[in-house]
Structure 1
Amino acid sequence: MFSHLNEEGRGRMVDIGGKKDTERYAKAHGYVFMSAKILKAVEKGEIKKGDVLAVAQIAGIMAAKRTPYEIPLCHPLMITHADIKFRIIKEYPCIEIISEVKTTGKTGAEMEALNAVSTAALTIYDMCKGLEKGIVIGDISLLEKSGGKSGLWKPEFVKEGKIINIAVGSKKGEEKKPVEKCEIIENFGLKGDAHAGGSKKQVSIFAVESLKEVPENKMIEVMRGGYTENLTIVGIPLYYLVPENVLRVGTVEIEIESVGKESFVNGGRPYIVSRKGIFGHVKKTGIAKVGDTIGVIN
């Protein structure tokens, strides 16, 4: 039987009186997607209703404190800390909202953290809806919780996908050749690759999802082009493949440095790689194989 149902199948508040008080922590996040024009206006404080992020931050903190008034069977908490942070993602215009909530008590702060993100997102929508009705809120999820009987919970990956190709090139300016596996070396890159070492762009990655950015009249030449990137991956939303995020495959960790190059190429596969290619530096050494799971870590 579900703990929130009584013997008659009706909702009830679970009795937590016998639980021990422990330090509790929860972290959640979510995204608000909008046009680049509106995102720029939010960042510069040019929305007529006021400072969007400042208002959304306060709204999120207030929502964390009022969670039991909105979620019927949620226990009231004595919150000791609540905060909201924002990350502007220009590469795929959106705002990431990150909440953190702490308390010392008999039950966790997961709902408070999630409610904070949800309300902050709705506040952003409310303040911008006069300029853009098509704003989308999504991907709200728990990132971490600790405390209580179950202790620490933290997913291995925030989002995960697969490596579908690995390619290494011995000379710059030439197409890379597919390999089944490769050693990826800390502060260097793929063993045997001409682009490894010497910069923060030690590894090049291409997400298959980026193909939707290719115009119809360019698609054939892009698909016919040979590999110019080291890793081809599929399954991770593009807005997770942005600077500061870290990818892990096996023991390998790659921190994303940039998306796209300084100058664009207008032909072949480099057309899309120069615009949406992902470049990063290697933080930890290991072996990567075609078919391996690759994911964004928290």
Structure 2
Amino acid sequence: MDQASQLGTAERVLIIRRKHAMKHARTSRQPQTGVALFLIIICSIGIVSCSSRDEPAPTPPTATGTTGAEKSVGERLFLETRFAQAFKASLDSGGNINDPNIDDPVVDTVKTIGAPIAPGPFKGLSMNCRACHLVDDVLEAPGGGMRSYTDFARRSPIPARADGKTVAVRNSPPLVNSALDRPGGVLFHFDAEFNSMEELVAATFTGRNFGWLPGERAQAIAHIARVVRSDDGTGDLAKEFDGTPFQVLFGGTDASIPEEFRLTAKFRVAVDSASDQQVFDAVVKVVTAYVNGLLFSQTE
């Protein structure tokens, strides 16, 4: 055998030995690789676990509330008829706080500059905000039509009391666009009686329009707070919206509250522990938000 053949044979033997050695090395390292992989997986799980513990849990919707829910709740309060003085008188005579049907004649018809429209949309009930700030309530009635949250009268009707008054000093001006910002600031009522929507709402709920006489403001606030605390959500008006009692709605966190009516923190109040004034202020705040949102569309 010549030298080239000998070298070739030697090289082949060396290659075979190297392959065998590499195979042996791979085989001997496999358990070590498996252990390393196992340790990596364990560490990764630990890191993920630690990271999960460090990250705050997502805030549930019941805690944050729904932006705009105050307008939905505010509309229900705007339509509520049990805040009127006549309803308190009914309760004082043994009436049921969750039965609004007290037949106050002031809402039997809709007063106009001509013949009244009968029946009125709130016949059988008592005064509320909507009775004078109408929309499509008498749209198809003879003499009726669409309103932009205003009435048809020269002077809006008010509940009868011992003072003998039956109408307000003015009619009810339109509410749509009434809260738009203006260069000189906002003024409400044509004689600029109010420069704050909250003041207007509070004065309406506790004033002559709802049947309360001068000096009865405290009674009005206590009565409204009582209605809010005692509402059980079974009335026809409540059912038109969500059927949730006012106390639960104002709490804002109960899982039973539909998302559309889940108030955010700034509009909530613990009705069962709050004072009458605090409950009243919460009602005013929510209704104000609703009225401020009454705007004509500004897009085509």
Is the structural similarity TM-score above 0.5?
no
The TM-score with structure 1 as length reference comes to 0.25
Higher strand proportion = 1
Q: Kindly name which structure, 1 or 2, has the bigger radius of gyration based on alpha carbons.
A: 2
The TM-score with structure 2 as length reference comes to 0.25
